[in-house]
Structure 1
């Protein structure tokens, strides 16, 4: 998944996300900083949302079941990984990947996982803190080897 894919997929789901949260078009437009006219155009799939709107949707509606079905359990993580191309620093505690993740490699300290929906990779520690995210399997495997060696 790349930036364009994310923009297209989230744009297609904007109306469902709005309805899921019980927002009117006016309220949703206000929350996202859009005009109602722009939101209507996105919802009718006449145009796609812009990158900043997609980031806002993933951040503000990260608990959305619609987004989770589209991107897995961590919409904001996927957005952040795409924006930075990878994340290589300890950050936020995850739920451990019991539903949306497949374990690729494990060691006593770290687990390398792949998201079954977005196909991106991440490394978490024993307490489920995320240490690394990337869409590149070779980068993920190299970082995993480095972490378990240290």
Structure 2
């Protein structure tokens, strides 16, 4: 996934999130630092939001159930950071998945090593889903997973 793909997806969610939080277009425009005319254009799919608007939108509304359902990742800001810092691309053949965003790679001693199916970054979570570690690099994630499971085994 790259910035353009994320912009497209999140631009289409602005109206839904605005409704979720019961804001009118003037209020949402003010929150995002854009004009009401721009909000109208985005909501009518006549233009996409800019990358800075998307970053602002996702950061401010990171607790939106709509955003969380779309990405299956509670920490959308972490996803934004990953995309902005790494030029991430998905293969064209990969499709958005409805509910399964994390593939379990390994599970030991109450810890789970997972890979995100869209961004291909790795994370280690506990049984409650709390993220303990994440990395874009498999070797680093596997190394930390082995170290952490050995520690939790004691």
Provide the rounded CA distance (Å) in 2 between the counterparts of 1:120 and 1:62: 21
Report the 3-state secondary structure (helix = DSSP H, G, I; strand = E; otherwise coil) of the residue aligned with 1:46.
Answer: coil
Which residue matches 2:114?
113
Which runs of 5 or more residues in structure 2 are unaligned?
A: 88-99, 148-154
* 1:13-37 superposed Cα distances (whole Å, 9 cap, x missing partner): 1111111110000000001111111
The Cα shift of 1:51 comes to 0.7
What's 1:133 paired with? Answer: 135
Ranges in structure 1 where 5+ consecutive residues have no aligned partner: 87-98
**Number of positions where the alignment pairs a residue of Structure 1 with one of Structure 2:** 132
**1:32-111 superposed matches below 5 A:** 32-74=32-74, 75-85=76-86, 100-108=101-109, 111=112
Task: Compute the RMSD of aligned alpha carbons.
Answer: 2.4
Q: CA deviation at 1:124?
A: 2.2
The range that moved more, 70-79 or 119-128, is 119-128
Task: Tell me: CA distance 1:85–1:69, structure 2 relative to 1, closer, same or farther (3 Å).
Answer: same
Q: Is the 8 A contact 1:11 1:54 kept in 2?
A: yes
TM-score (norm 1): 0.75
**Relative to 1, partners in 2 of residues 1:51 and 1:23: Cα closer, same or farther, differing over 3 Å?**
same
Where does structure 1 differ by over 6 angstroms across 4 or more consecutive aligned residues? none
Question: Which has the larger Rg?
Answer: 2
Q: Distance in 2 between matches of 1:148 and 1:13?
A: 35
More strand by share: 1
Rounded to whole Å, the distance in 2 between the matches of 1:5 and 1:16 is: 18
Structure 1 residue 54, shift from structure 2 partner: 0.7
With over 3 angstroms needed to count, the CA separation of the structure-2 counterparts of 1:121 and 1:110, relative to structure 1, is farther
**Which shows bigger deviation, 73-82 or 48-57?**
73-82
